[in-house]
Chain A
């Protein structure tokens, strides 16, 4: 009996000390910081602060209503719009969250992979743009039937991004150049190269040649098909993302490649001593990472019927860093984190229409990752137990999931 109680409290301690609890707390704290910012930037609240002590209700009421309206709009813009007159319009926000979350998940997986190997890939933007260049070329300059065109365009995006990623890994392995510097510099190079390509009709600029830096829209045969019909903009990109989540999980947790990658991440010296070629692993990790980012590029290039402009990367390469950090660089975590930040993107316009400044969500996003990155801070604030070395949870899980255990 008492033994059981001990086990229960030990398991609870493990839960509280675990990353999941901290993540939830960080998300809530992030929203609190955003709320404070909204309140502090609200003119009515500031006005009513002037007579706070004579009538505090005004200030509190203003604070309450601005936070309530702001986050209410976020909910309506990203999850479910209860005011809509038709069902389609009511659930459209949710599909937008999925649509905008898909590239964040894909790129987040890519960056999370390098974090697991102890590399810090800041080059999501550059790799994404390389993928865009390849995909746009295939999608706008080739004529093929649908069953060939779309797969080829996706593969092109992946190949393009992988080439740049592997190049960074190669330069690091061969010359010892730091991957952070390399990837940041490649971001600039690729961004301006992309713009350059869009300036010349002989390269990627639209054939209509309006003089604006813009590509032709992707051929219809190369577009990711719509998933839920014409009423929604959601396309197969989200399916791509979900499949990628499973592939990532298998790759990292179950395959020998993943084992090697993780081993280098834990301790490169030990890995080397164990006979792993660490340099080759760096090239492999950067290449694989960029391959996932390349899928995000495919999503961006083939998910819209409009021609791309130089800003089509939409800062996904950087946002994906926060997605990977929030998601703890593991598959389910990145899926959830990508959806959360996708919801921010989908809900932002509705908040802005209400007069909430769009920077609020950026602050929430940054604050969340800040809290995630500082586990001791969260533990001190909420008196959470230190990380546990016991494995009661694991045992319980094992007992439940043990194969043929019932026999």
Chain B
């Protein structure tokens, strides 16, 4: 069969695999992703999975991108459709000139109705039934067999695949053989029946050296280990759970005393998020670096305690891996919907320090930053990533670690320092930076104070006195100003040519925005770029916004939460801020940003007419 319609897209195409949740396809997808990565070709992997254990449709998207883009593409060049339930819509998703592979053990002539798509039938089930025994094995092997088909069609190196399997199943070599056998079956069938490879193919490059494929939750967990965190308390919730699992995994390798078996960390699975944040606050108050990981519903439940920690000035680190809200929402889809509920978490005049990582490498870096800031500022720090960063594997520059790093424990008085002072006043602004001194329990009676969420004066005593109350909350405002100088600054990237148009993004939106800006630049449209990385905003944010006539604020929620924060917390006029909002739960593709910008600045020039 000749595949002449195949457009030549070497190292620049998207494979999407449609399967049924719980049938073992995750290992084949991971294998394909890593095989391409190991061939030196940059990849993006996105998992679209249901909130379900077994039976519902699930998809995995592999974008092969020689330009090393990090966003989802949005297009599908080659669909591997293994779930009959979704055949119809999967076929619809394929671009004109693309390919559609399905299990032709049960032929479906109806799938041939699109004449601009090449439909390739591979009898995966029959191949596996003839070569493997046992129902479960046959299903699992069918879901690895397609990796072989793709290896043949897209020219993915079988030797690399075998190597990866060998590492994965180092302790079960039999599994290497059976998996390889299934892969070979698919490979041989494709070679025998189709003209291989297609125009969509992988050619070895050297563009992944010095990089790793890692997800943000794993990276954040690693950051917690390196920050010296010892107490982790959490309540399981998608998509944050894997952060705690990864922390446990790393600690069991890296934090266990080989001589005694004692573990230099303690994880507590709490009864709910109210308890998990309470435990973090209790442990941090008592001098341990403690953290929790949660998602939107957990942030809602933690509001009261976050207000206490703000007002009583207790460090706490919270990872909020955002998912689609409101309410339970779509737990396995991504969104940036917690910007507001995190920034002003709790009743009364509260404001919380937030960090917005845009990638796994920043999850690693900001995990460490979060602990330093929480202790320096004696306040909660919320690290807001999202499901896309947290649970998908991203190609990242290898993380580096400076062995000279020492934690910033902030202003903590020890027994010797206490002995030298006359009296200890917990909430007194000695240094005029709004940050008081604190003491830890068990150190000295002189340092004893009463932490409370009720009104207190600057000496640490209970108060209902108006003036005394205001002195403390005004100092907290001053501390907030100090925080604006300590948090990570916005990343600002001026265009090659002077412009009064800019794009502002936050978090995972960075990937799509960068790709969109690169495409616009290639078409002669130059736009400045700023990515905010923390709340409170530094002065650079205000300056940047004010310097542009038009700032596109690109974010992944319906209500323009970042834009609202910028309007409230900077002096910029709202007319200078224009939203591009993507909130359907899928990671934002670059084309969405490009179209949103062009619709305003060049309405006569639709995105389709751009080159590149």
Physical interaction between A and B: no
Interface residues in chain B, defined as those with a beta carbon under 8 Å from any beta carbon in chain A: none
